[in-house]
Amino acid sequence: MSERVTNSVDFYQGNNPQDLIRQYGSPLYVYNERVFREKCKTMKTLCPYSGFRVNYAIKANSNLTLMAIALEEGLKADVSSAGEIVAALAAGYKADDLFFIANNISEDEMKFAIDKNVILSVDSLSQLETYGRINRGGKIAVRFNTGIGGGHHEKVVTGGDDTKFGILTAYVPEVKALLSKYELQLVGINHHIGSQFAQELYIDGVVTLLNIAREFDTLEFVDFGGGFYIPYHKQDGEKAFDLKPVGKSLAEHMQKFSAQYGKELVCMIEPGRFIAAECGVLLGTVHAVKKLGAVNYAGTDMGFSVFARPTLYDSHHDVEVYRDGEITGAEVLVNIVGNQCESGDYIANKRLLPPLKERDVLGVLDTGAYGFSMSSQYNHRQRPAEVLIRVDGSVKLIRRRETYEEMLVNMQGL
Ligand SMILES: *Cc1c(COP(=O)(O)O)cnc(C)c1O
């Protein structure tokens, strides 16, 4: 077997995955603080432009401890709902640190953000009109759809006509009309082209958004979105992209733009997955093995209520096997599935692994982003606990597993 990806980065720092499961239960999200901090630093130093600001997209992982660490590392936050505003404030962020990228929100949710002094971006003329009506004279940002989109799956491409996001560039005159009708100050414009896009596309997006920025003279910031690529196929030797050229190009475009605009605008980006994905491994346990015809199955406790990305996007995640005894036998193809009542409930299909046994512990890699945050209570299964391996190697419980009783408290019997 090839060297474990987790060994190559000393992910467990001396902790044994089976012991973690014994102590905290299965399944379990395990995060590594050192890896998380490294990712924050990489982003923080990406772009040599004085007004550069990194907003961590907390929808990727909004555990209070991780959010607080990102804040310590100098990151601000991108929030996508009123609930995320509450969570970010609880983690220690100030209203000024937050940018709310809203999509089809109610008037109440808008009012909530306004009351908390959090700047929000609207992504339709209809929402701009609503905002103007309830907050005449206020500050607002607008999300544009520049027609540039890209990503790892059609469900995460967020630019172009076939997505629901943003105001098309052709509507700049209508945006201006609404701004003046309600005496609004447009303080920022933003876009987000998708997740796991090609690097060149990002810079195309920067150029296009800056061209729109020239149409408005009241701006304080431009925000180019997140979606930075992470290598999900590390077992096949996939390496991370060198992001430095993107950062350098971004700085050059911003400097040139600022000189023409006559003012240094703040330049924001919104990485979510890049910050959080690689600091996380989801541990789960094999409870059943079987063969249906020629297909081997390993049945685990990692259903899509615990980890939804494979079911939702057919995402690939590398899987490692941990066993107290020796791991032996010629590798076979196996489908690793969950315990829920849907045939789409799977973690990994057709993986070459040594024959699996009951009680084997599996590690699903790069699950720190869109793992716990997309988990649910489907089938009345508890969402897992989360633990953090501190920089010194000690383990801290940062979310305990919920109880069955807690899952009932908001309901009323007949
Ligand atoms: C989801 C999202 C992000 C973060 O995307 P990642 O792929 O996790 O970097 C950033 N901005 C917006 C508007 C988003 O919807």
Q: What is the pLDDT of residue 156?
A: 64
If we measure between CA atoms, which residue out of 211, 207, 218, 204 comes closest to residue 262?
Answer: 218
- For 188-249, give the secondary structure using H, E and C: EEECCCECCCCHHHHHHHHHHHHHHHCCCCCCCEEECCCCCCCCCCHHHCCCCCCCHHHHHH
Q: Is 341 a catalytic residue?
A: yes
The tens-digit pLDDT sequence of the chain (414 residues) is: 457 999 999 999 999 999 999 999 999 999 999 999 999 999 999 999 999 999 999 999 999 999 999 999 999 999 999 999 999 999 999 999 999 999 999 999 999 999 999 999 999 999 999 999 999 999 999 999 988 766 666 766 666 667 788 999 999 999 999 999 999 999 999 999 877 767 788 899 999 999 999 999 999 999 999 999 999 999 999 999 899 999 999 999 999 999 999 999 999 999 999 999 999 999 999 999 999 998 999 999 999 999 999 999 999 999 999 999 899 999 999 999 999 988 899 999 999 999 999 999 999 999 999 999 999 999 999 999 999 999 999 999 999 999 999 999 999 999
Q: Is residue 292 within 8 Å of residue 333, measured between CB atoms?
A: no
Q: Which residues line ligand 1 (CB under 6 A)?
A: 57, 59-60, 78, 101, 192, 195, 225-228, 270-274, 369
If we measure between CA atoms, which residue out of 118, 130, 54 comes closest to residue 82?
Answer: 118
The three-state secondary structure class of 388 is strand
Q: Is residue 71 within 8 Å of residue 93, measured between CB atoms?
A: yes
Q: What is the pLDDT of residue 359?
A: 97
Cα(321) to ligand 1 centroid in Å equals: 31
Nearest residue by C-alpha to atom 3 in ligand 1: 226
